[in-house]
Each structure stands twice: as C-alpha cells, then as structure tokens.
C-alpha cells in the first residue's frame, strides 16, 4: 500500500509565499556579488550584462547606478552612459553629483559646452558644507578631472574664507599640474591657518613632497617663504621654514645673508639671527653659526639677547669640540680661556647650566677634572642656584670624584641626590650611578640589589642601562665562584672611566691571558672598541666590534656592535654606503634590538628606505 504525505493547505500556501518572496532577493544579491567581482577584476565586458539587469530592476539604487555607469564609461559606451546619467538627473534635478557625472560623460564625448555648463551648475551648489564639497571634489577626481577638482576646492575656500581647510589636497593637485609656486603657497597658507595640524615638521614634509631635490622648485619655495615673512614678520614659523629650505639646499652662507637682510628690514633685534645660529649649529655648520652669533653680539650689551647669544656661542663651541674626532689642543685652550673671561665678567653665570659645560670642558677635554670639580662646587654654593640644578651639579661632581679616585665622596653625593629626589628621574640617575660605583668596587651583590629596582625605571635609558649592567654581572658570575675575572674587568671599566686607558688595556690583556675561555670575552672586545674609538683608531675599533658579531653573533652585545660599526662608518669614516648596509642588516638580523628605531630614523635621514 502506498502512503502519501500531504501538507495542510495553509502550510503549503505559506511555503509558496516564502519561496516567491525570498528567491528573487537571493538571486539579485547573487547577481550583484558576481557583477562586483567582475568589476573588481576589471572584467567590464562580463560585468556589463549583470549590471544592466540589476539597473533595470533597481534604477534608483545609488551603488548599482554608479558602478553601472563606471562599467559603461570604461567600455566607452557613452551613449548608454549619457542616457542613464540624464535619467538620474531628471529624477533629481538639484543633485550636483549627478551634474558632475553627466558632465564628465559629455566631456569624454567632447561635448565641452554642455559639460562646462553642468560643472558650473554643480559648483553653484557649494554652500560651505564640507561633506558636499568633498563629494563634488571626489566626483571630479575619480573621473581624472584635476582642473575642476581644483576649482571645487577654490570655490569652497572663496565661500568659507578658510584656506587652511583644503590646503593639503589643493597643494597636491597644484603640484600634479606643475604649478609649484601655487602648491608651495597653499602649504604655507595652510601652515598659518591650521597651526594645529602638525606644526613645522608637518609643513616641511608637505613642502619636501613638492620640491624634492629639484633646485629650481626649492628656489620657488624659498621666494614664497620670504614673501610670507615680509607680509607677516612676527610669524616665527616662516622664519624656521626659510632656514629649513636653505638647509635643504645646503646653502648656509646664502641663508645667513638672507637672514641678516631680513633682520635689518624688519628690525628684529637679533631674534632671526639667534634662531638661524641655533639651527645651523644643530646641523654642525659651526662656522656660519659662529658668524651669526657674532653678528648678534655686535649689536652690543644693550640688546636684550646679548648675554644669551654669548652663552649659546660658548655652548656651540663646546659641541664643536665634542663632535670633532680629533679636536686640537689649541682650540680647547682657546675655548677654556673664553669661558674663563666670560665667567669673570658674569659671575652670576655660576648659577646657570652653562657652568656644567665649562666644567665638562675642563675635566674631559682640558685634562683637569680637579678644575671641573672646583667650578661645580662654586655653582652648588651659589645662593641663586635651584634645587634641581644643584642636584645635576652634584651628579657631575660625583663623576669627577670617581675620576680623581675619591670614591667615597662620589657615593656621598649620589646618595644626597637620591634622597632629595626619591620619586624623580634625578633620583633614579643617582641610584644608577651608585649601583655602578658598587660594581666598580666589586660589590656585585649590592650593585644587583640597586639594579633590580632600576630595571623598572620610568626612564627607558636608565632601565636599559640598568638591565645591561645587571646582565653583565649575572652572566659572568661563574659556577665555581671564581670572581677574579669579573673583579678585574670591573676594575678595568673603572680605569676607562678615569681615563687611565693604558692601564685599562694592560689589565684587559691580563684577563684574556689568564682566563682564555672567560665568558667576558665579548665584553672585553666591546671595552677595547670603546678605548680605540676614544683615541680615533676607527679601523681598530671596528675590528673589535666585527669580532663580537663573528664570534658571539647570538649574544647580547651583537646588535650593539653592529650599530656602533654603522655609526663609525657614518660619523667618522664618511662611508655612507657601508653605514647604510650595517643599519639595514641590524634591522633585519636583530628586529627586537633597542637600536632598531634609531637605525630606521638614521636611514630615513640618509635618504634610504628602511
């Protein structure tokens, strides 16, 4: 017997209704997904039929309309494209976006008069609404119509009187059109009208994108900036940009001439010269910076910047010696005499940071740490000296006590700063120096106790230094408790700090001879490299560093060694290609290194792509 199964009439009717309701929707959605896939893969011919069906069924769907129009224009079926765009405009006669779409189709058919009429109509709808402005600009830009994209933004600026609002896109569009002067002008107008949008750095990046390394374009930018300075002499940002454009051209002498002329024209009383000198010094253009400072100082003691300029020039002169791989003793002696003359004339300067520079010159370059210590003692005793300034002087004085062998006095000073600035970076710095002093004196347990806390320091530099010293101690405490190699190495490290380099080298030799398999081998190589670099034996320093990479490439000092090799090539040997290779290798081989970020920035400054 055959059993038949029948749905109740009401259920059957419901099922039929659901089927009729959902199937067309599912089918339409599937067609749209297929059409979009063809469009994304630029298979316009296969997309055409699907979009035609979809558009016929849903002519008011904005996505289907715009994508169908795109397919038609790509296939150059302008007749159909014109028809559906006209229909859309008839449905909404006040839609400026449809005006732009239809106008672009007219333009493609060389119906220029019709196109321009529609474009003008579309722009008449701009009313200050940023969203509408951006939509109209996008409609022109998507059709490759740069000229009318520019006119859209220009009309919005004219209406809103807010040039900064559209300065960035307009600058790029002008640049694409080869209108460099307009592009630069727009960036500069944006800088003054939208100062919160990144400041000088952002403006410099925008200008660099326009002028690049083209000297003619750089000249155009230079003239535009000077015009802006003349119009707004109180706007420091333009002055900084002028100095920047000259640095880009490496025309520092010419820059000084321009800055001096601007000074006279605008009666700046030295402000422009001061800013220029500081910028030139930062780029290690010491000669031209010195001339700028001298020109400012020549204004005389009644000038409000007279004292400050003298102090800045002294600091710059010390930086010049510090950055000279082979500073001449005559230059050091001459600067020492200039410092002395200045402090005799201005005894109040003992309560200023300049005294720390004077002390550093005497202790580290003029071979007299005792003289440096006396200067700092005088500074600490000044009634006008601030609490933080006194602490900084005590830390520096403690270092000079270590150099002269007064370790107890150094520890006492560090402890005083630690106590006075418990919750401050100065306190952490004092604790680290005391920890290192414990290490120098072979009290490794005491050092480790201090370092364990400092590894969590809020200062990344102190935390990294603390971790490195702690690791040095931890890794070199042997299982047989023979602490002699580490004790000798710590003392050699102290000798290096005290500038007793020959003694340090002899002690390192003795460690290597007595303990040929010591775990300190890579640390010894690093300390030797440091000594070689101090005496400007650059090839020798690099040889020690390369041995670290070759023999101990997976140990903690390998990335440090690679970075130092690159720095020597770049700073001292002028081997930029070699330096670039080592920076790049560091980034690839040691991605977790703390030097990676600095290597990337240096590569960018060198014009490489890290």
pLDDT for the residue numbered 193: 59
Q: Predicted confidence band at 392 (pLDDT cuts at 50, 70, 90)?
A: very high
Q: Predicted confidence band at 512 (pLDDT cuts at 50, 70, 90)?
A: very high
Task: Kindly state the DSSP code that residue 49 receives in the 8-state scheme.
Answer: H
Helices 44-57 and 62-74, axial angle in degrees (round to 10): 140
- Could you report the per-residue pLDDT of 127-184, keeping only the tens digit for each? 989 999 999 999 899 888 999 999 999 999 888 887 778 888 888 999 888 898 888 8
DSSP of 250-307 = T-HHHHHHHHHHHHHHHT-TTHHHHHHHHHHHHTT-HHHHHHHHHHHHTT-TTSTTHH
Of 17-21, 73-77, 290-294, the range with the lowest mean pLDDT is 17-21
pLDDT for the residue numbered 13: 41
Contacts of 440 (CB under 8 A, 6+ apart): 402, 407, 490, 491, 493, 494, 497
* Angle, alpha carbons 219-223-224 (nearest 5°): 115
- Please report the domains of the chain, with CATH numbers, ordered by start residue: 520-605 (1.25.40.10)
- Could you report the per-residue pLDDT of 50-108, keeping only the tens digit for each? 988 888 988 888 888 888 888 898 999 999 989 988 988 888 888 898 899 999 999 88
What's the mean per-residue pLDDT of the chain? 87
Of 42-56, 253-267, 392-406, 429-443, the range with the lowest mean pLDDT is 253-267
**Tokens describing residue 379:** 């500074």
What whole-number distance in Å separates Cα of residue 130 and Cα of residue 332? Answer: 61
Q: Which of 454, 367, 434, 423 is nearest to 394 (CA)?
A: 434
Spatial contact of 570 and 576, defined as CB atoms under 8 Å apart? yes
**Tokens describing residue 77:** 């079926």
- Could you report the per-residue pLDDT of 295-343, keeping only the tens digit for each? 999 999 999 999 999 999 999 999 999 888 778 999 999 999 999 999 9
Query: Quick count: other Cβ atoms within 10 Å of Cβ 476?
Result: 17
**Tokens describing residue 373:** 């210590």
Question: pTM of the entire structure?
Answer: 0.71
What whole-number distance in Å separates Cα of residue 189 and Cα of residue 157? Answer: 12
Residues in the chain: 610
pLDDT for the residue numbered 195: 47
Contacts of 237 (CB under 8 A, 6+ apart): 191, 192, 195, 199, 200, 203
Q: Which of 23, 20, 24 is nearest to 12 (CA)?
A: 20
Q: Is the dihedral of CA 358, 362, 365, 370 positive or negative?
A: negative
Q: Predicted confidence band at 192 (pLDDT cuts at 50, 70, 90)?
A: low
Spatial contact of 134 and 165, defined as CB atoms under 8 Å apart? no
Q: Which of 319, 323, 318, 316 is nearest to 296 (CA)?
A: 316
**Tokens describing residue 85:** 């765009």
């Amino acid at each position: 017997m055959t059993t038949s199964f029948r749905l109740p009439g009401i259920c059957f009717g419901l099922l039929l209704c659901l089927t009729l309701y959902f199937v067309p929707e599912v089918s339409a959605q599937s067609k749209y997904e297929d059409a979009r896939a063809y469009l994304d893969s630029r298979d316009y011919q296969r997309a055409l039929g699907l979009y035609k069906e979809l558009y016929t069924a849903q002519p008011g769907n904005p996505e289907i309309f715009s994508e169908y129009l795109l397919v038609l224009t790509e296939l150059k079926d302008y007749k159909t494209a014109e028809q559906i765009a006209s229909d859309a405009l008839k449905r909404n006669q006040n839609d400026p976006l449809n005006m732009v779409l239809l106008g672009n189709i007219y333009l493609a058919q060389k119906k220029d008069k019709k196109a321009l009429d529609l474009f003008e109509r579309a722009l008449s709808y701009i009313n200050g609404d940023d969203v509408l402005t951006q939509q109209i600009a996008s409609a022109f830009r998507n059709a490759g119509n740069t000229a009318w994209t520019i006119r859209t933004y220009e009309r919005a600026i004219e209406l809103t009187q807010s040039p900064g609002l559209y300065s960035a896109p307009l600058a790029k569009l002008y640049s694409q059109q080869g209108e460099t002067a307009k592009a630069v002008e727009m960036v500069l107008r944006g800088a003054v009208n939208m100062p919160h949008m990144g400041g000088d750095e952002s403006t410099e990046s925008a200008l660099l994108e326009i002028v690049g390394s083209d000297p003619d374009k750089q000249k155009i930018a230079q003239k535009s900036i000077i015009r802006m300075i003349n119009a707004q002499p109180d706007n420091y940002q333009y002055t900084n940009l002028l100095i920047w454009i000259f640095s880009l051209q490496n025309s520092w002498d010419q820059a000084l001439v321009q800055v001096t002329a601007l000074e006279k024209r605008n009666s700046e009383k030295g402000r422009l010269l001061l800013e220029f000198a500081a910028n030139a010094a930062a780029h290690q253009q010491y000669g031209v910076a010195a001339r700028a400072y001298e020109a400012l100082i020549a204004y005389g003691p009644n000038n409000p910047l007279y004292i400050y300029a003298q102090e800045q020039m002294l600091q710059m002169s010390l930086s010049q010696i510090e950055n000279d791989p082979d500073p001449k003793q005559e230059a050091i002696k001459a600067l020492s005499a200039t410092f002395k003359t200045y402090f005799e004339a201005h005894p109040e300067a003992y309560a200023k940071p300049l005294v720390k520079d004077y002390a550093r010159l005497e202790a580290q370059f003029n071979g007299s740490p005792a003289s440096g210590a006396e200067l700092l003692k005088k500074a600490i005793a000044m009634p006008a000296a601030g609490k933080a300034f006194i602490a900084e002087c005590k830390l520096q004085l403690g270092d000079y006590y270590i150099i002269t062998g007064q370790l107890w006095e150094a520890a006492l000073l560090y402890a005083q700063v630690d106590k006075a600035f418990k919750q401050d970076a100065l306190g952490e710095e004092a604790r680290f120096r005391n920890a290192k002093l414990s290490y120098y004196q072979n009290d490794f347990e005491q050092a480790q106790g201090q370092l364990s806390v400092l590894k969590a320091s809020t200062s990344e530099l102190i935390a990294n230094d603390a971790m490195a010293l702690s690791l040095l101690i931890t890794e070199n405490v042997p299982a047989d408790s023979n602490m002699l190699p580490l004790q000798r190495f710590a003392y050699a490290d102290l000798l290096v700090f005290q500038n007793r380099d020959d003694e340090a080298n002899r002690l390192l030799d003795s460690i290597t001879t007595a303990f040929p398999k010591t775990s300190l081998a890579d640390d010894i190589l690093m300390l030797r490299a440091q000594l070689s670099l101090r005496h400007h034996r650059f090839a020798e320093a690099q040889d020690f560093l390369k041995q670290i990479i070759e023999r101990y490439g997976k140990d903690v000092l390998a990335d440090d060694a690679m970075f130092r090799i690159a720095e020597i090539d770049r700073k001292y040997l002028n081997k930029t290609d070699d330096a670039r290779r080592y920076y790049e290798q560091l980034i690839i081989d040691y991605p977790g290194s703390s030097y990676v970020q600095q290597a990337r920035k240096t590569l960018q400054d060198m014009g490489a792509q890290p």
